[in-house]
Structure 1
Amino acid sequence: MSIPEQDKQRILQDIEQHGCHLILIEADNYLPAFVYSIGLYQKFGHPEIICFGMEINLMASLINEACAMIQNGEKLEVNKAYPDFLEGYPIQFLQVDKDFYQNYLGYGGRFYGSFDFPALQLVWPDKGSNFPWNENFNPNWKFKQPLLDRNTDFKFYEERNLGVFTTKQVLEGDPILYVSHDSDGDWQFHGSANADLEDAKIICMEDITRLDPSVNQIYHLQYGWNAWRQDINSDWEYEEGEEEEEEETE
């Protein structure tokens, strides 16, 4: 799918004037905000850059700073500490696995006409200068920035051993066709919207992705939303669920 001509011309103008165009995605009630570039590869032959989990204007500023460095002839490298982006804290870059492009770089793919371009992820540390892959990284920040060079088999912003609800029929081979992400954080993976509670089972989320890797497509399902499909080859459809009314207390 191509992008509207008016949008394409605006992107091209930004690339010409500033070196790149930025796509800013606000946080929702589940996923963090992120920002990525379009045009670094077209203008400089340099990988595009994506960043997650900080204030959106700060991320835009960091990518613009990277763009300025690239315009001056510097090629940003993976697994190298850069101390001058965030005052007092180093950042690093990771190579983005192409399996994540459609999830996070979709508009870039539409601009280029394919996902045949390189991309780097700008990764920031915690206040102790520990990165997400370090043992002492702040656990409260673990899911603020997914690491796009790994975990292509498990894209959810959850622990792999998180307990989730399913049914014995799914465990026996029925396809997962209905998923809910409850407002309290619980996940349910069923064969239909009318699953029988008597058939309920609890297993870890990683086992769900092993039973059916295609459920990774709905890693982004917000709190309080449902997703369903006609069969395992159909696209997912989405709907916000109705909020449960709290019981009145005297």
Structure 2
Amino acid sequence: MSDEKREKYFKMVYDNIEKYGFHNTYVMEEIGFTPFGYSTGIYKNFGIPELFISGLPNGLTNTLITNYVERFKFKEIPLNKKIDDLIDRFSIYFIEIENHKLTEYTLSSFKFYQNSEFKYLQLIFPDLNGFFSKRRGI
């Protein structure tokens, strides 16, 4: 990515955070690469951890992040507990994930927060049969 494109992108990120309180970044699927999305700005503006979601399409990822913010802003997040009503399609879990495990993925957040504290959760969803995998997180 050129410096000009990078500057334009980060301006959009900061503008969205100022306007909406957060920005969603989505990285598309490629051969041998699972798509993922994540939030930036939620921790600072709503007092809850940022959210990382891997393996879902862009629209669904954005809906889940938006629903997460609307439902839990300024509240305690139920960790490691089945949540049946964040979206009407399936249940989910939130698990803690250490920031250093996301360094390569959540570049916008690391740039935005720089040396400030922030936290991330990962949203875990079931397979097509409704089962949750024993593998948890990144």
Give TM-score scaled by structure 1 length: 0.48
Distance in 2 separating the partners of 1:106 and 1:88: 29
Which residue is equivalent to 1:33? Answer: 35
Distance in 2 separating the partners of 1:115 and 1:27: 30
Which residue is equivalent to 1:147? Answer: 137
Give the secondary-structure state (helix, strand or coil) at the position aligned to 2:30: coil
What is the identity, as a one-letter code, of the residue corresponding to 1:106?
L
Task: Indicate conservation of the 8 Å contact 1:19/1:67, yes or no.
Answer: no
Distance in 2 separating the partners of 1:102 and 1:89: 28
- Quote the offset at 1:88 in angstroms: 4.7
Which residue is equivalent to 1:123? Answer: 124
Percentage of pairs with the same residue? 25
**Structure 1 unaligned regions, length at least 5:** 134-141, 149-250
Give TM-score scaled by structure 2 length: 0.83
Distance in 1 separating the partners of 2:109 and 2:51: 11
Kindly tell me: are residues 117 and 55 of structure 1, through their superposed partners in 2, closer, same or farther at Cα, counting changes over 3 Å? same
- Quote the offset at 1:120 in angstroms: 0.3
What is the identity, as a one-letter code, of the residue corresponding to 2:48?
H
- Quote the offset at 1:76 in angstroms: 2.1
Kindly tell me: are residues 128 and 74 of structure 1, through their superposed partners in 2, closer, same or farther at Cα, counting changes over 3 Å? farther
- Quote the offset at 1:107 in angstroms: 2.1
What is the identity, as a one-letter code, of the residue corresponding to 1:147?
G
- Quote the offset at 1:113 in angstroms: 1.1
- Quote the offset at 1:5 in angstroms: 5.4
Distance in 1 separating the partners of 2:116 and 2:53: 18
Flag the structure with more relative contact order, 1 or 2, with Cα contacts below 8 A and sequence separation at least 6: 2
Higher share of residues assigned strand: 1
Figure out how many residues of one structure are paired with residues of the other and give that number.
134
- Quote the offset at 1:48 in angstroms: 0.4
Higher share of residues assigned helix: 2
Aligned structure 1 segments of 4 or more residues deviating by more than 6 angstroms: none
Distance in 1 separating the partners of 2:48 and 2:23: 14
**Structure 2 unaligned regions, length at least 5:** 1-5
